Amino acid sequence: MPVAVDAIAEELHSARRERSAVIPLTERLPELDLPAAYQVQAAGIRLRQHDGETIVGGKLGFTSRAMQQAMGVDQPNSGWLTDAMLVHDGRVKLDTLIHPKVEPEIAFLLDRPLAAPVTAADVQAATCAVAPCLEVVDSRFVDFRFAAQDNIADNSSAGALVLGNPVVLTPELDLTLVGCAVWVDGDLHATATGAAALEHPAAAVAWMANHAAQPLEAGHLVISGGLTGPVDLKPGRVVRADLDRIGSVELRAA
Amino acid sequence: MTVAEDVREQLAEALYRARLDRRPIPPLTETHPDLDLGDAYAIQQGLVRRLQQDGGEVVGYKLGLTSAPMQEMLGVDTPDYGPVLSSMVHDDGTTLLLDDHIQPRIEAEIALVLRAPLAGPEVSTLEAGRAVGSAVAALELVDSRIEDWRIGLIDTVADLASCAQIVLGAREVPVDGFDLRLTGMVVRNNGDLVDTGAGAAALGDPIAAVAWLANTLAPYDITLEPGQVIMTGALHKAFPVTSGDQVTARFDRLGAVSCRFA
């Protein structure tokens, strides 16, 4: 039986707008496979575009081995970012989200399109700048309970994102070794390096360019995957990520 | 201190024997529940004297329990330290024998080398930073002479802060002009990525770890001397190794350090 792609996309779209989490799709629709899940994701993005939102780039998920093992998959996934997800003043409004969590990431700003097949080196050549980023992930499924297909259908848990100032990506900057420290209300939460994202953040971006149904375009922003475990976002909480030689980014839950 | 000197000496001897014979002993805190932190450091001194008699001098210190998760696991809010003896220090690329150990685990950390003497109390992070000359990529093999790593703070302090071996990278890098808190590190075993971390994992700042050490040693009238090496604490969760493993930690700016296990 074919999957009712549009109906599922509508359900997740409503779940997000009404901040009402739903039961994982895979618990109701065992026939939902990865291609169908990406079709649901694409239909969901069309709904957001119909609401007036514009695609500004892409995002990676499941980029750590720990997450892949927990999900029983051996590859990352991707989703799309829209302009409505960008938080410009660092104040993340909790009343627009269900159960948000925050992860530090390296964001890539592309000045050239990336058409498959591409390598990590191609990604770096097409990147004019990188920026520190805090991604607010939010699942439309109850208790963040999901299988890989659910997460893909749900646009890889995309919620919102806060960007720090971009810096030019120079060849001397080894993104695998760039250190990252995350502070929650001034206390250290965790540390990592860029290698936590699929061994190389640029390789994560390349994965999306090689697998996504739509190309990554010049001007797109791609966030390359969480580097540390997530921070639960609670009212008043301040989260800061410092990335060596890239800069800092901070958000406050409002 | 709460226990008699002969009891402390007896426990130092027991830990020394456990180390030599590779036979772990029950937690000291179970057999001697009265021990306090002063006793633990006194037992550690007894153990260091015995190890020095076998050859080796104090060339620095290691810090332990420098991360919030480790402190929470042991129910403490302080790090600990132990002297590093020259007999425990190895060059980059060395082969370490698992049979010489009981239940070893490996961790990567930033070693700092002092260029000026540093004595507490009231050493600030800023002052400690001035005394630190350079940083070195380092691995520490930790091991516990206490059964099944069932350690409390007192147990690990007495047991030389669970230190076994230190592997130091081949070059020192001056620490001027960059932030050790954000210095990244990727550790691999046989080429597979195991974990990543950055300097802040060590007490928020490896330099702050040096200040803590200087201040903690002050009551003993111990000054940290130029040339001494301070192991500032693990940047990731320690992991066990088996024979044939090759562990490499690569640090931003500091280079790599590796060792093999046989």
State how far the Cα of A192 lies from the Cα of B145, in Å rounded to an integer.
30
Tell me the nearest-neighbour CA distance from A25 into chain B, angstroms. 33
State how far the Cα of B213 lies from the Cα of B80, in Å rounded to an integer.
8
DSSP string, chain A: ----HHHHHHHHHHHHHHT--B--GGGT-TT--HHHHHHHHHHHHHHHHHTT--EEEEEEE--SHHHHHHHT-SS-EEEEEEGGGB-SSSEE-GGG-SS-EEEEEEEEEESS-B-SS--HHHHHHTEEEEEEEEEEE--SBGGG---HHHHHHTGGGEEEEEE---EE--TT--TTTBEEEEEETTEEEEEEEGGGTTTSHHHHHHHHHHH-SS-B-TT-EEE---SS--EE--TT-EEEEEETTTEEEEEEE-
Closest residue of A to B183, CA-based?
A179
Of A174, A188, A190, the CB nearest to B204: A188
Q: By the CB < 8 Å criterion, does B185 face chain A?
A: yes
Given a cut of 50, the residues of chain B with pLDDT beneath it are none
User: Which of A60, A159, A57, A171 minimizes the C-alpha distance to A105?
Assistant: A60
Residue B170: alpha-carbon gap to chain centroid: 19
A77 has which bridge partners?
A61
What is the pLDDT at residue A21? 97
User: Which of B146, B153, B163 minimizes the C-alpha distance to B25?
Assistant: B146
Closest residue of B to A197, CA-based?
B196
> Is the overall model pTM greater than 0.80, yes or no?
yes
Q: By the CB < 8 Å criterion, does A96 face chain B?
A: no
Q: By the CB < 8 Å criterion, does A162 face chain B?
A: no
Q: For residue A174, which amino acid is it?
A: D
φ/ψ region of A143 (left if φ > 0, alpha if ψ in -120 to 50, else beta) reads left
Best residue in A68, A167, A177, A178 for a mutation probing chain B (most B CBs within 10 Å):
A177
State how far the Cα of A215 lies from the Cα of A63, in Å rounded to an integer.
20
pLDDT in tens, A151-208: 999 999 999 999 999 999 998 899 999 999 999 999 999 999 999 999 999 999 999 9
Strand-pair category, A91-92 with A247-253: parallel
Tell me the nearest-neighbour CA distance from B200 into chain A, angstroms. 7
- Distances in whole angstroms, Cα of residue B7 to Cα of each of B43, B159, B238: 9, 15, 32
User: Do B182 and A243 make contact, defined as CB atoms within 8 angstroms?
Assistant: yes
pLDDT in tens, A108-146: 999 999 999 999 999 999 999 999 999 999 999 999 999
pLDDT in tens, B123-161: 999 999 999 999 999 999 999 999 999 999 999 999 999
Average predicted confidence (pLDDT) for chain A: 96
In the predicted structure, residue A2 carries a pLDDT above the cut 80: no
Q: What are phi and psi of B134, to 5 degrees?
A: -150, 170
Contact status, residue A103 vs residue A135, Cβ threshold 8 Å: yes
Of B68, B178, B185, the CB nearest to A193: B185
Q: For residue B213, which amino acid is it?
A: L
pLDDT in tens, A17-30: 999 999 999 999 99
Chain A positions in Cβ-Cβ contact with residue B204 (cut-off 8 Å)? 188
User: Do A193 and B201 make contact, defined as CB atoms within 8 angstroms?
Assistant: no
Of the pLDDT bands very low, low, confident and very high (cuts 50, 70, 90), residue A1 is: low
What kind of architecture, by CATH, is found in domain A5-253?
A: Alpha-Beta Complex (3.90)
Best residue in B196, B205, B257 for a mutation probing chain A (most A CBs within 10 Å):
B196
User: Do A193 and B199 make contact, defined as CB atoms within 8 angstroms?
Assistant: no
What is the pLDDT at residue B83? 98
User: Is the previous residue joined to A30 through a cis bond, with omega within 30 degrees of 0?
Assistant: no
Report domain extents, chain B.
57-261
User: Do B200 and A227 make contact, defined as CB atoms within 8 angstroms?
Assistant: no
Is it true that domain B57-261 has CATH number 3.30.70.980? no
ipTM over 0.90: yes
Q: By the CB < 8 Å criterion, does B11 face chain A?
A: no
Question: Is residue B37 within a helix (H) or strand (E), and if so which, with residue range?
Answer: helix B37-53
